[in-house]
Structure 1
Amino acid sequence: MALRCTECGALTIPEGPELDLSVTTDLGTLARHLTLMNTNDPPQDSERLYVREVVSKADARLACVEDEISRLEDRLKVLLREHALLSEYRTKNVGILSPLRRMPPEILGQIFSWALPTDEQAKSPAYRPNPKDSPWVLTWISSRWRAIAVSTHSLWSLVHVDAAGSLHSLSMIQTQVQRARGLKIHFYGRQERNAAPQIQLFRFLSEHSNRWEALCLRLTSALVPRLDSLRGQLPALRRLWLEWDTPESQNRIDWIECFGVAPCLVDVGVHSGNHFIPVSLPARPNHITRYDLDADWPTHRRLLAQLPNLVEARLQASLGAPWPDHTNHKTSLPHLRRLYASQTQVLNYLKAPALEEMAVHVHDVPPGYCKQSISAFIRRSSCSLRRLCLEGPPLDPESLTFVLSNNSSVVELINITADAKDLFVILTHAENPFFPVAPHLSAIHFDLTSGSIDYDLYLNILESRCRAPHYSLKSATLLVPLDQGPSPAVLSKLDSLRSRRGLEVKVLSGVKARIERDTWLYKACWTST
């Protein structure tokens, strides 16, 4: 039987045994009716009449229920509409109480800066500025946000132009330049693309070169002549990175002179690629503290002699260039703290007493050559080297053992190689035939993104050094290919080392691995190469 709700009077339909549509109380008839509903037996004439009466009663009840459903649906629509209006009204009132309304503009501007693309994102080939991204989208939220975003000059300083995709409209870049104060220009020209729009954008940006603080420029043959307008117009430029798009982009280019009058340069990088093209440095380059160049060694030696205050240097020496005699002349870099050498031979020409970190690309050289070069360089420099990064084929066990054992100041070892199995064995406590090898190492890092990983051997290093009484291992990093990540069992063992031994251990792949490797090799995060 249908019942009325005592609170609102709405009709309710009972369930289960209370839903009684029978038209008789005769137990025999009821039992026969139940049998017919649960079997395929044919009804008798008298039973057919009874069932018709039950159907008629059910029809009446259904009509009543359908009317009530329709009424409740109409009521539900009213309630949902009211709910939506109340929610919107409440949200607006809660917004009045939001701490963001009381936040000082300078703090909100700082928060806005966290939404900007990072240097790593900006230099990615896949990066394309989008009006729906920060900082443009910040101007659409409210009048207050727009005013703060427009007046926060640093939000607009990064100007990214890449001719590989659709170029920003000139009016959009004009707006950004107008809102910025100092400018960081990332301009990636493309030799195979239409030169006219690239020249137009570069010409406009050059009109504001007195505000350039950083310039990352990929040159084409059409853009090089436009560099003449920059001469004497770069008073604020601090960071410079130049590269060429293709070998054709270097045709008939002998010299880049415009940067010879840039008095504030502190960071200079040039990647020539196909063949070296000289770039003028300021007449008094004492402010330059970072240097990244690919050239033959005589060119490096000449330029390094002019840069006495270098703190960080990436010396990419041409492989096929003749190496002059190094027995008498050593270039002294008294303030150098971080060094990357693309060949071991570079070390034969240098002395760096303040050096703390060094990365060396090890080529196929006679056994013992790297040991002699590295050890002689450290001894000659009398430096307290803290980090040693070896890139390329792994050193033979004797050489690595010699270098580490004779330089106890080296507490961080990095290997970037395709095959580290021999290194794993050398550095494992229990299996090391030269025991002990560098018990003073507090950090061991491997980049195996171009090879394969034996996780059992890797775990042996960590576990054995953590257990050994006089070992100092505190952190370890492993860079792996995307498709060779550790299994759940390996991850469990690494978690155990973190919790039981306090070991800081990271396993990275993809973009995070590339960023970590670039850091080990002292590549500037803001350049494109």
Structure 2
Amino acid sequence: MFPDSDVDQYSCHCPHCGLTPRGTQADHAPYIRNARVEELLSTNRPLLAAEEVTYRDLLARSSERLSIIENEMQRLRAQLALVETQRKEALVMNQDLKSINSPIRRLPDDSLREIFLASCRSWADVNSLFFSINMRGQPWILSQVCRRWRSVALSFQKIWACFRIDMEHIPITRMAQQRASFALGQQIRRAGRHELTLSTCDPDEGRLGTSYDMILPLLLSTCSQWRTFELKCHTRAVIHFAPIRGYLESLEKIHLSIRTSSRGEQDISTSNIFEFAPKLRRISLGSGRKDIVRSFIIPWPQIIEYTDGGRRKGSHHLEVLRRATAITDVRINSTLLPEAEGGVPYTLGGRTIRVPTLRNLRARLKLNDSHFQAMFDKLELPGLRVLSTALPPKADPFISLIDRSQCHLTTLLITANTPEISAELLRLCKVTLHLRALCITSDGEESGPIPISDFLVGLVHPLDGDCFLLPALTCLNLMQLNWNPRDSVVLELIDSRLGGWVEGDEESNNDSSMIREGVAQLRKVMLPYSFEIAHKEELERFRSLGLKIITRRS
């Protein structure tokens, strides 16, 4: 057995490490006032003569004990400070070791460049390039992380090759303009000889000030490297880009959005800044002047892609197609001006325009019969393969265009916004025997259900002794269509098209591969997700037979 003193001593051990701290020995007892001390503290009476010696001795011992405790506290504070310092040093070392062992250090420079490029999407790709001479934005901030990132960023010219210069973001103070000019010069130097994407926007009415005096000469000095050029400015500001004429040897795409403010400016002379651009192939027009085609001398015979996002008449588009003899892709937003709605029937004079090279036509049109019919009545498109548009109340414009052009459509994308969609689709399908892909979508989320059940029934069973409709169809897309078909129609259509066959190689682009018997086999069907929930077992059976069925938007 341990003696009593030893038992008291070990009773103060730490239960985790067994340490007995100083100041916690067995002789320590809590101080409790006795009755005599309580009595003396409650009155002002002096101590008795016999008590003075005892209490003076207790006071001396208490003072000595207080001194010991204060010294112990000071020692513990110093020890705690030392431990805190050691903890901070351990945290720093731990962070350093984590940083040294970070996977980003093992990332090759090529992968790091791809990450930089993904974070600096260009205006030409996603139309989201921000004000480029802001040193707190991309790609400037990538060169301010560490020495390695700066070295990789400065040696990667591609992330510096996209410029968006918006004059309204540059303050009018002299210091801010000098800073913007310096940043632009630095970005041009870092882009080196890489091809450039340039977007310049001037909200002013063409009155060039200090901003243009400092920035425009720097931009024009790089014109030989421009690959994509977007110009948004006033008519009067176009003349200040005249020096680039003849130096656009790398230019491939332009986007023009030219504003006017008075009638007198319609007579401004034609600009020839794009007259000599040997690589120019794509032109895009935004809002602004309606006669923008005649405002610039453009080498139309070499243009292959034309996009119009403004509200221009059909005569404007016909003028483009008449000049662009090698065009292959056309995307137009509208042929109808707002003030023309409800007016007299719209007619166009002149001869029919034949464009044999046009293969893709995507038109988002307002469905006014006279304006719609007028433009398509003047076209012959024998090479048309892809047509994307809204179906008018009557499909006569498209039917006459296909019959007149003798074209073999292979892809048809229809925006349904008319209650007579089934009847008009059936009429249209009778003249598109070579159609392989059909996509029907609703006109916005707020449009009501589109009745296409009769059209789907027509694809299953020939009507009035006719041949099967769309005998070459291999892809049907109804995913973005707000519809309410009968339960068995789509399933019956899929089932009936799984056993069809086509004589010849249907994957080839040779139009001589004609369908002689039966129908082609469906290979891909895209349906709303609600249809997957309602008919999961049937769709799984079709999938097991090799049909690719997609029911989710990716």
- The bucket for the TM-score relative to the shorter chain is 0.5 to 0.7
Q: For residue 145 of structure 1, report the CA deviation from its aligned partner.
A: 1.9
In structure 2, the partner of 1:485 is none
CA separation of 1:492 and 1:165: change in aligned 2, threshold 3 A: farther
In structure 1, the partner of 2:354 is 331
8 Å Cα contact 1:404-1:437 kept in structure 2: no
1:469-508 matched pairs, under 5 angstroms: 470=494, 474-476=525-527, 493=533, 502-506=549-553
In structure 2, the partner of 1:301 is 318
Comparing 222-231 and 233-242, the one that deviates more: 222-231
Distance 1:465 1:77 in 2: 81
In structure 2, the partner of 1:175 is 186
In structure 2, the partner of 1:59 is none
Q: For residue 169 of structure 1, report the CA deviation from its aligned partner.
A: 0.6
Confirm whether residue 436 of structure 1 aligns to residue 457 of structure 2. yes
Q: Please say which structure displays the higher CA radius of gyration.
A: 2
Q: For residue 272 of structure 1, report the CA deviation from its aligned partner.
A: 4.9
Q: Structure 2 residue aligned with 1:209, among 178, 201, 223?
A: 223
8 Å Cα contact 1:405-1:437 kept in structure 2: no
1:457-468 matched pairs, under 5 angstroms: 458=483, 460-461=484-485, 467-468=491-492
Distance 1:466 1:73 in 2: 82
SS at match of 2:283: strand
In structure 2, the partner of 1:140 is 144
Deviations 1:274-300 (A, max 9, x none): 4313244554733x2211245544443
SS at match of 1:110: helix
Q: TM-score, normalised by structure 1?
A: 0.67
SS at match of 1:313: strand
In structure 2, the partner of 1:401 is 425
Gaps of 5+ in 1: 13-19, 24-44, 50-63, 448-456, 479-489, 508-529
Q: For residue 322 of structure 1, report the CA deviation from its aligned partner.
A: 4.8
In structure 2, the partner of 1:522 is none
8 Å Cα contact 1:157-1:182 kept in structure 2: yes
Identity rate, percent: 16
In structure 2, the partner of 1:7 is 17
Q: For residue 72 of structure 1, report the CA deviation from its aligned partner.
A: 8.1
In structure 1, the partner of 2:301 is 285
Confirm whether residue 90 of structure 1 aligns to residue 105 of structure 2. no
CA separation of 1:435 and 1:70: change in aligned 2, threshold 3 A: farther
Confirm whether residue 186 of structure 1 aligns to residue 215 of structure 2. no
Q: For residue 120 of structure 1, report the CA deviation from its aligned partner.
A: 8.1
CA separation of 1:329 and 1:68: change in aligned 2, threshold 3 A: farther
Deviations 1:186-239 (A, max 9, x none): 111102697414523233201211111110110124421202112112111111
8 Å Cα contact 2:241-2:273 kept in structure 1: yes
Distance 1:80 1:474 in 2: 67
Confirm whether residue 385 of structure 1 aligns to residue 410 of structure 2. yes
Larger RCO of the pair (alpha carbons < 8 Å, separation 6+)? 1
| Residue correspondences, number | 432
CA separation of 1:75 and 1:199: change in aligned 2, threshold 3 A: same
SS at match of 2:170: coil
Deviations 1:333-389 (A, max 9, x none): 324234326363333233334433323256xx7x42xx1112232343422331313
8 Å Cα contact 1:338-1:358 kept in structure 2: yes
- Read off the aligned partner of 1:158 and give its amino acid letter: C
Q: Structure 2 residue aligned with 1:358, among 381, 387, 394?
A: 387
Q: Structure 2 residue aligned with 1:317, among 335, 351, 360?
A: 335
8 Å Cα contact 1:309-1:336 kept in structure 2: no
Q: Structure 2 residue aligned with 1:261, among 276, 279, 296?
A: 276
- Read off the aligned partner of 1:164 and give its amino acid letter: E
In structure 2, the partner of 1:373 is 397
Q: For residue 267 of structure 1, report the CA deviation from its aligned partner.
A: 0.7
Q: Structure 2 residue aligned with 1:270, among 277, 282, 285?
A: 285
- Read off the aligned partner of 2:164 and give its amino acid letter: H
8 Å Cα contact 1:203-1:226 kept in structure 2: no
8 Å Cα contact 2:439-2:478 kept in structure 1: yes
- Read off the aligned partner of 2:222 and give its amino acid letter: H
Q: TM-score, normalised by structure 2?
A: 0.64
Gaps of 5+ in 2: 1-7, 23-28, 40-67, 172-178, 367-371, 461-472, 496-521, 544-548
Distance 2:486 2:254 in 1: 41
CA separation of 1:3 and 1:246: change in aligned 2, threshold 3 A: farther
CA separation of 1:202 and 1:358: change in aligned 2, threshold 3 A: farther
8 Å Cα contact 1:135-1:155 kept in structure 2: yes
Confirm whether residue 109 of structure 1 aligns to residue 113 of structure 2. yes
- Read off the aligned partner of 2:402 and give its amino acid letter: I
Q: Cα RMSD over matched residues?
A: 4.6
- Read off the aligned partner of 1:173 and give its amino acid letter: L
Confirm whether residue 154 of structure 1 aligns to residue 172 of structure 2. no
Confirm whether residue 131 of structure 1 aligns to residue 129 of structure 2. no
